[in-house]
Amino acid sequence: METSEFSSKNNVSTSQEVEEPCDDEMFQELVETLPKAKGYNRSYYFYQGFWCPPSYFRGLLSFQKHFQAFDTHIILATLPKSGTTWLKALTFSIANRHKFSLQDTPLLNFGPHNLVPFLEKLYSENPCPNLENCSRILSTHTPYASLPPSIKDENSKCKIVYVCRNPMDVFVSHWHFVGKLRRPEYMEQLSIDEGFEMFCQGIHGFGPYSDHVLGYWKASQTNPNKILFLKYEDLKEDIVFHVKELGKFLGFPFSKEEEDQGVVEEIAKFCSFDNLKEMEGNKNGKSPSGFPNSVFFRNGVVGDWSNFLKPSMVEHFVKLIQEKFDQSGLTFKFS
Ligand code: A3P
């Protein structure tokens, strides 16, 4: 089994600069020039150093070209399976707490993905959507290096929140997610060994993992007022602290009165895995991508990898983490 890479394959260019194609023919021509790889359940395009799912690609190009960040925008950035759904619910609740109480929040009836759209999806439906009518909280899986310039512009006051999760839990979560969405008539169950090999080669949505995480990590170190870098495991350990931090960072600090009334704890509890997964919109609704919202809730714990990974896989992950993250100052918790 070839699992010695945790990042982009060396033989693939990482510096593609392409203009947004103006019509289907140009789009097809572009797609034909891109390196491709078969991933878990589909092929991916290798573009600007990351593996993009084809269903996101057209939207990504329009997003990159046309998106103009407002100072009020809050961009939630993640690698899939790192805690996106949780972060969306938390941010929505914090930012809208004066508009909706937890007794009448739209989160009671709609999934977090229905309330906080993915930019790549938004731009795939319309290459120039009217952002005035859109939520100020938006999300993306696009790596930092490939974000549109207006988000990163030093004059822009829009904020980015990134949540990272330890790679072993991301992998296990992803493997289950793909398995649940699999249509048995078209696809056999992917073995964990096959999934592991692809993940280690960086061939998963918006991977390689290490490039994605390090891109946002480094940017957050350089610009901590603009980018808040969170870890899933830290949120699990002390969610009340992080709800307060998020409020402060996003410009919605909790007042002393709110803290005394227990508003922070209420939001933390409302957005907890056990509570959120029982909401009507999450039990029975569908995400804008057409997935049942229930697939975004599995068990929501830290360290589930220990139930699935073989010792040799763990060893491999540990070695790769040492190689990729040792000099970065970023560390991971696994339990
Ligand atoms: P597991 O598969 O390990 O359970 P994403 O939202 O980025 O797709 O990530 C999904 C992962 O986050 C899943 O992990 C899911 O169970 C977990 N999750 C969803 N909502 C959560 C919440 N409110 N609190 C903690 N974890 C949550």
Per-residue pLDDT tens digits of the chain, which is 335 residues long: 333 333 433 323 333 444 444 578 888 899 999 999 987 667 899 999 999 999 999 999 999 999 999 999 999 999 999 999 999 999 999 999 999 999 999 999 999 999 999 999 999 988 889 998 889 999 999 999 999 999 999 899 999 999 999 999 999 999 999 888 876 666 667 889 989 999 999 999 999 999 999 999 999 999 999 999 999 999 999 999 999 999 999 999 999 999 999 999 999 999 999 999 999 999 999 999 899 999 999 999 999 999 999 999 999 999 988 999 999 999 998 87
pTM for the model: 0.92
Q: Which residue has the least CA distance to atom 17 on ligand 1?
A: 300
Which DSSP state fits 301?
-
Task: Specify the pLDDT at position 109.
Answer: 95
- In order of start, what are the domains of the chain with their CATH numbers? 34-325 (3.40.50.300)
User: Is any ligand 1 atom within 6 A of the Cβ of residue 205?
Assistant: no
Res 333: pLDDT: 84
- What six digits make up the tokens of 163? 């949540």
- pLDDT of res. 40: 66
pLDDT score at 133? 85
Decide whether any atom of ligand 1 lies within 6 Å of the 239 Cβ: no
- Atom number in ligand 1 closest to CA 78: 7
Counting from 1 in the atom list of ligand 1, the atom nearest the Cα of 276 is 23
- Which residue among 73, 113, 141, 204 is the active-site one? 141
Distance CA 80, CA 52 (A): 12
CA 101 – CA 5 distance, rounded (Å): 48
141 pocket-lining for ligand 1 (C-beta < 6 Å): no
**Cα separations in angstroms, 179 against 36, 64, 172, 176, 188:** 22, 31, 11, 5, 9
Q: What is the chain's percent helix, strand, coil content, to nearest 5?
A: 50, 10, 40
**Cα radius of gyration (the chain):** 19
Q: How many angstroms does the Cα of residue 8 sit away from the middle of ligand 1?
A: 26
* Angle, CA 178 vertex, CA 297 and CA 83 arms, to 5°: 40
What is the reported pLDDT for 103?
Answer: 96
CA quadruple 299, 304, 307, 312: dihedral sign? positive
Please confirm, yes or no, whether 141 is among the known catalytic residues. Answer: yes
Which of 79, 92, 115, 173 has the most ligand 1 atoms within 8 A of CB, as the residue to mutate?
173
pLDDT number for residue 21: 46
Q: Whose CA is nearest to atom 10 of ligand 1?
A: 81
DSSP code per residue over 305-324: GGGT--HHHHHHHHHHHHHH
pLDDT at 184: 64
Q: Is the CB of 174 under 6 A from ligand 1?
A: no
Cα–Cα dist 178/294, whole Å: 13
Judged on CB neighbours under 10 Å (0-12, 13-18, 19+), 335 is exposed
Query: How many Cβ atoms from other residues are within 10 Å of residue 300's Cβ?
Result: 18
Q: Which residues contact 1 (CB under 8 A, 6 or more apart)?
A: 193, 197
- Residue of 76, 78, 81 with the most ligand 1 atoms within 8 Å of its CB, for mutation: 81
Residue 3 is predicted with a pLDDT of 34
